[in-house]
C-alpha cells in the first residue's frame, strides 16, 4: 500500500504576482485586501496541484509566514488543509515542519538581501540583516528554510517568486526544484508582472508534476557544524547581539556563530533579528 503524501507550504508575500512594493501590502494599505486574495489564490493553486499529482494525500500544512503571519484568507483556502498563522513562533517560516512531510513548497518568496533588481530583497529582517553567510556562502530565506526542512529529511520541491530568485534557486538547488517566475525585477520596488491567473495555472501544473516525481528530489543540508556570519545594518546592532552566548564579535557590524545544526542557527538568527530591532 502506498504511503500517504504530506506537503508543507511556506508562504511569503513579496514574491507573489502583482506585488512590487511593501507599501501595497502594509497593514493600512487600501490595496492589502486585493493582495491577500491573490496570495490565497496562489497558495490554492499549489494545493490543487499537490492534490492532482498524488492520489493519496495525508496532510497539507500551510505556514503563513509574512510579517505577523496574518495574510491568507482562511475561508478562501482549498479544503483539506490546516494553516499555521500568527506570531511569535520559534520556527516562524517553517513552523510545524517535521519528518512526516514529503515535500516543501516556498510560495511568494523573494531573493536574498543584496540581490540587484530583486523585488524587496531581504533576509529575515530588512532593518537588521545586511548579509548572512553560512559556511562562506551568502544565503537567503529560501536556502535557510530549505535547510531546516532538510534537517528533517524533507526536500524542497517548488518555489515561486521573481526571476532574480529563480537564478538564486538554480544556483543552490539545480534544476530538479520546480520554479515559477511570477514577475521580472526592474528595481527593488518595480517589476514587470505576469497576470495572477497565468502564474496560478503554472503553479498548479508544476506542483502536480513535481509531487508525482518527488522521489527524484534530495533534502538540502549545509555541512555541519554550521559556520554562520551575520553582517548587521549598524554597529549598535553589533553591540546589542554581542552578549548572546556563543556569539563572537568579529567587527563593528559583524558577528559569527558556530551552530551544531540548522535549528540552532535558526534560533540565533531569530534572536539576532529581535535584539537588533530593539536598537532602532
**Chain contacts with Zn ion (rule: CB under 5 A):** 12, 14, 66
Show the DSSP H helices in 213-259 as ranges. 235-241
Residues near 15 by beta carbon (within 8 Å), at least 6 away in sequence: 107, 108, 109, 110, 119, 160, 161, 162, 165, 182
What distance in Å separates the CA atoms of residue 260 and residue 182, rounded to the nearest whole number? 36
Of the pair 25, 60, the CB lying nearest Zn ion is at 25
Of the pair 109, 151, the CB lying nearest Zn ion is at 109
* Residue 227 CB, nearest approach to Zn ion (Å): 26
What distance in Å separates the CA atoms of residue 88 and residue 225, rounded to the nearest whole number? 27
* Residue 136 CB, nearest approach to Zn ion (Å): 26
Nearest position to Zn ion, beta carbon: 66
Strands 156-162 and 178-187: parallel
* Residue 141 CB, nearest approach to Zn ion (Å): 8
* Residue 19 CB, nearest approach to Zn ion (Å): 10
Of the pair 66, 206, the CB lying nearest Zn ion is at 66
What distance in Å separates the CA atoms of residue 213 and residue 256, rounded to the nearest whole number? 39
Of the pair 14, 231, the CB lying nearest Zn ion is at 14
Of the pair 111, 232, the CB lying nearest Zn ion is at 111
What distance in Å separates the CA atoms of residue 232 and residue 241, rounded to the nearest whole number? 10
Of the pair 89, 218, the CB lying nearest Zn ion is at 89
CA-closest candidate to residue 235, choices 255, 215, 219: 255
Residue whose C-alpha cell reads 536598537 in the numeric block:
279
Amino acid at each position: 500500500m502506498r504511503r500517504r503524501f504530506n506537503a508543507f507550504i511556506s508562504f511569503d508575500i513579496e514574491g507573489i504576482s502583482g506585488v512590487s512594493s511593501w507599501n501595497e501590502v502594509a497593514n493600512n494599505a487600501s490595496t492589502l485586501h486585493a493582495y491577500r486574495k491573490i496570495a490565497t489564490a496562489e497558495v490554492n493553486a499549489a494545493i490543487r496541484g499537490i492534490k492532482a499529482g498524488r492520489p493519496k494525500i495525508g496532510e497539507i500544512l500551510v505556514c503563513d509566514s509574512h510579517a505577523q503571519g496574518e495574510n491568507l484568507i482562511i475561508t478562501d483556502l482549498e479544503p483539506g488543509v490546516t494553516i499555521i498563522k500568527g506570531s511569535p513562533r520559534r520556527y516562524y517560516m517553517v513552523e510545524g515542519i517535521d519528518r512526516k512531510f514529503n515535500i516543501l513548497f516556498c510560495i511568494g518568496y523573494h531573493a536574498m538581501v543584496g540581490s540587484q533588481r530583486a523585488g524587496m530583497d531581504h533576509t529575515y529582517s530588512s532593518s537588521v540583516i545586511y548579509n548572512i553567510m553560512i559556511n562562506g556562502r551568502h544565503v537567503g530565506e529560501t536556502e535557510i528554510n530549505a535547510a531546516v526542512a532538510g534537517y528533517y529529511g524533507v526536500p524542497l520541491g517548488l518555489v515561486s517568486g521573481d526571476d532574480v530568485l529563480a537564478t538564486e534557486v538554480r544556483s543552490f538547488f539545480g534544476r530538479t526544484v520546480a520554479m515559477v517566475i511570477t514577475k521580472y525585477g526592474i528595481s527593488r520596488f518595480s517589476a514587470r508582472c505576469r497576470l495572477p491567473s497565468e502564474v496560478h495555472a503554472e503553479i498548479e501544473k508544476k506542483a502536480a508534476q513535481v509531487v508525482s516525481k518527488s522521489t527524484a528530489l534530495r533534502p538540502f543540508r549545509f555541512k555541519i557544524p554550521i559556520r554562520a556570519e551575520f553582517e548587521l545594518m549598524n554597529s549598535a546592532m553589533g553591540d546589542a547581539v554581542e552578549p548572546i552566548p556563543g556569539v563572537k564579535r568579529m567587527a563593528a557590524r559583524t558577528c559569527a556563530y558556530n551552530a551544531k545544526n540548522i535549528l540552532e542557527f535558526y534560533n540565533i538568527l531569530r534572536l539576532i533579528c529581535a535584539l537588533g530591532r530593539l536598537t532602532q
